[in-house]
A and B are shown apart, each in its own frame.
Chain A
Amino acid sequence: MMNVNRILIGGGINHPFGSPELTPSEEKEFRKGLVEKALNTLKCNVRD
């Protein structure tokens, strides 16, 4: 089994960067939060 070094849980299988039950502007905010998290993870050091 491959191990992934930097991984985040998204908004769901059918919409990793979405949350359809929110209003469009709320959903975009949700997406923004996730993307920020993702970018911050890229800045993290991964310990073995």
Chain B
Amino acid sequence: MLRIVHYLNQFFGQIGGEEKASIPPEMKDGPIGPGFILQEELKGRGKVVATIICGDDYFCNNMEKAIEEVLLLIQSKNPEVLIAGPAFNSGRYGIACGEVCRRVNKELGIPCITGMYKENPGVEIYRKSIYIIETLSSVIGMKDSLSKMVEFAIKLSEGKPIGSPEEEGYFKRGVRKNVFSERLASERAIDILMAKLSGVQFSTEVSNSVGMKSKPAPPIGDLSNAQIALVTEGGLVPKGNPDRIEGARCTKFGRYPIWGKEGSPIGQFECIHRGFNVSFVNEDPNRLLPIDVLLDMEANGMIRRLSPFFYSTCGCGTFINEAKRIGREITKNLKKDGTDAVILVAT
């Protein structure tokens, strides 16, 4: 009977939403929330002996402290496997799950498994050091991903050989392994050449990855002559969200007048981002867009001008292609505005 500890964030751990994202780690006996589905999927082969719940903000903002606390809690239960999440497309949750798995594996020698959606930033950061099962982007994929995670966890605990990413459903870890092809390399080479010659689609078996690089824009020579604009994915919009910008999986952006020195932005703007605790920014939007400071700098000549418009979108589970498109459109606008440089504020 496999002893399993389950790691969850404040939301799935049924403590609360964003307002509870700063809670420190705590442990409860048995399964909580999705842990019950996990228990079902185990089909008698294991038991969720405890659940660890930690706020995503607490974890990400105090990572070293948080991980130590989490490790101690896990150690006290002596599990054979740790299952974290799944985190789907939640970035901070993904990072927490990834870090917990990585450290539990490294420092406690306990096999771990987590699950994430392909665009979760945790995937890129952790895919090489731990196994991450690929999930759908939302809780619709809960049962299916937990089922895969359970099967994988059992294989790990039994020391059975792990199959290919396609077979097992985990993200490629960026390692190359030798396999036996059905055909000689000589035949494959002539085939791929013939495909190339006849215009049929082909794919290379190996290449060096050329990472997506953006060419750096040349530096600003003279700040006092520059117009600086603020762009954010923090989801700050005029109160009432007139453009109906989505708080998650966003497909739009807005262009809004900055607040001046006289008018207070409080109460005039709101933060609709679904991915972080917006209360601080709502208290004082300058904490997201440092307009007060930049206006001072405009007044004393440090910069020529702060663009009278800021651009706002919401970077919460945004699909990459949407983000690319939004970025291109904002850039077009920035050029029309005569902006020379941008401070892009991310949360």
Contact = CB atoms under 8 A, between A and B. Distances in A.
Q: Do A and B bind each other?
A: yes
Interface in B226-264: 226, 228, 234
B214 A28 contact: no
B343 A1 contact: no
Interface in B272-323: 276-281, 283-284, 286-290, 292-294, 296-297, 302-303
24 contacts: A1-B124, A1-B211, A3-B212, A4-B214, A5-B217, A13-B60, A14-B280, A15-B281, A16-B287, A16-B345, A16-B347, A17-B287, A20-B280, A20-B283, A27-B287, A28-B286, A31-B286, A31-B290, A31-B292, A32-B296, A42-B220, A42-B226, A43-B223, A45-B219
A31 to B, nearest CB: 5
Interface in A1-48: 1-6, 10-18, 20, 27-28, 31-32, 34-35, 38-39, 42-46, 48
A2 B57 CA distance: 24
Interface residues of B, number: 44
Nearest to A18: B287
Interface of B: 57, 60-61, 92, 124, 211-214, 216-221, 223, 226, 228, 234, 276-281, 283-284, 286-290, 292-294, 296-297, 302-303, 341, 343, 345-347
B287 to A, nearest CB: 3
Given A16-B346, A31-B290, A5 B212 contact: no
Contacts of A39: 223, 228, 297, 302-303, 343
Given A17-B345, A44-B219, A3 B297 contact: no
B223 A42 contact: yes
Which of B60, B294, B303 has the most chain A CB atoms closer than 10 A to its own CB? Answer: B294
Nearest to A47: B216
Interface of A: 1-6, 10-18, 20, 27-28, 31-32, 34-35, 38-39, 42-46, 48
A17 B303 contact: no
In the A-B complex, the 9 residue pairs with the closest CB atoms = A18-B287, A46-B216, A5-B216, A15-B287, A17-B290, A15-B280, A42-B220, A42-B341, A14-B280
A45 to B, nearest CB: 5
B156 to A, nearest CB: 26
A35 B294 contact: yes
B219 A42 contact: yes
B223 A17 contact: no
Given A1-B124, A5-B217, 20 more contacts: A3-B213, A13-B60, A13-B92, A13-B347, A14-B281, A17-B289, A18-B281, A31-B286, A31-B293, A34-B290, A35-B294, A35-B297, A39-B303, A42-B226, A42-B341, A42-B343, A43-B220, A43-B221, A44-B219, A45-B218
Contacts of B221: 43
A9 to B, nearest CB: 11
Contacts of B223: 39, 42-43
A3 B303 contact: no
Given A18-B280, A43-B223, A13 B57 contact: yes
Contacts of B280: 14-15, 18, 20
B212 A38 contact: no
Contacts of A35: 290, 293-294, 297, 343
